[in-house]
Amino acid sequence: MKVTLFIPCFIDLCHPNVGMSIVQILEQLGHTIDYPEELTCCGQPAFNSGCWDEARDVAVKVVERLQDAEVIVIASGSCGAMLKVFYPELFQKTGCEQAAKSVANKTFEFSDFLVTKLGVTDLGARFPARVTFHDGCHGLRELDLKQQPRTLLSHVRDLELLEMSEAETCCGFGGTFSTKFPMISSAMGDGKCASAQETGAEYIVSNDSSCLMHLQGLLDRQGKPLKTIHLAEVLTSS
């Protein structure tokens, strides 16, 4: 299958390993990768701030470039939700409505693509550590990604998954919210980290790098030993 990969800006800049891991996994499974280098952002920051015109100007490039793709894989539940759930609304009653819907229909978040679309659950990975899983809200509630990442983790050798009580509670990132209301955002993040820590896990794993970026930022500032890692990186460990 020819898989078109969408790498969001924060993964490109700060967590390129996540993208590389996804490339590695998909290629090992025998797929070819089409990576549109000119695409950087789905437009979500503007969209979430109410600036839908600016969001549309960015998103339209994405729609135009991706509408003919066979299948689109995106490395973040949050940006995935933007393409799958919000593009059709953003382009409602515009010339791009149909194209946006077709992009939405063939977009998969990375773990969903592996488990639901390909039926792949075991990638032969080994990650000897205690981990806890953080459900990113967009992935969980907009895309219904509760089971897929856990299915993948359950096949990783030597990995112990310890569920935290607050797994489904928002970590407080929320895109621009995190800098507009930093104290609320951080208070929420602290709650999340505390819940993760209670499990005795060494790592917080998630399928959303944006949440992890926020949590890692808090942990580093507070000098806590807990680490964060993206699911794709766990799946390429051996």
Partner 1 sequence: MTTPVHQFHTDANRAAQDLQQRAQIQSALSSYETACEARKSAFRDWESARQTAAEIKWDAVNHLDQHLREFADKLESRGTQVHWASNEQQARDIILEIIRSNNAHSIIKSKVMTGEEIHINEALEKAAFDVVESDLGEFIVQLRREAPYHFVFPAMHLKRGEISELFNRELGTALTEDPEELTMIARRVLRDKYITADVGISGANFAIAETGMISITENEGNARLTCALPKVHIALLGIEKVLPRLRDLALFLPMLATAGAGQALTCYNSLYGGPRQPDECDGPEEFHVVLLDNNRTQLLADKQQRDALHCIRCGACLNVCPIYRSIGGHTYGTTYQGPIGSVITPHLRGLQDWKHLSSASSLCGACTQVCPVKIDLHHHLLHNRRNAVIDKPVWREKLQFAIFRSVMNRPKLYRFCVRIGRLMQPLHRLVDGTRLDPARGWTQTRKLPRIAPQTFKDFWRNRK
Of the two residues 29 and 187, which places its CB atom closer to partner 1 in the complex? 187
In the block, which residue shows the tokens 């409602």? 92
Of the two residues 57 and 122, which places its CB atom closer to partner 1 in the complex? 57
Dist. CA 105–CA 78, nearest whole Å: 16
Of the two residues 11 and 96, which places its CB atom closer to partner 1 in the complex? 11
Of the two residues 100 and 156, which places its CB atom closer to partner 1 in the complex? 100
* Residue numbers at the binding site for partner 1 (CB under 8 A): 7, 9-17, 19-20, 35, 37-38, 40-41, 43, 45-52, 54-55, 57-58, 61, 137-138, 141-142, 168-170, 172-175, 177-189, 191, 213-214, 216-218, 220-221
Q: Find residue 228's DSSP bridge partners.
A: 204
Q: What one-letter code names the amino acid at 12?
A: D
Cβ atoms of 19 and 75 within 8 Å: the answer is: yes
Of the two residues 56 and 150, which places its CB atom closer to partner 1 in the complex? 56
Q: Min. distance of Cβ 173 from partner 1 in angstroms?
A: 7
Q: Min. distance of Cβ 111 from partner 1 in angstroms?
A: 19
Which residues lie closer than 8 Å to 186 by C-beta, 6 or more apart? 172, 218
Dist. CA 53–CA 57, nearest whole Å: 6
Q: Min. distance of Cβ 46 from partner 1 in angstroms?
A: 5
Vertex 16 angle, CA 62 and 143, to 5°: 50
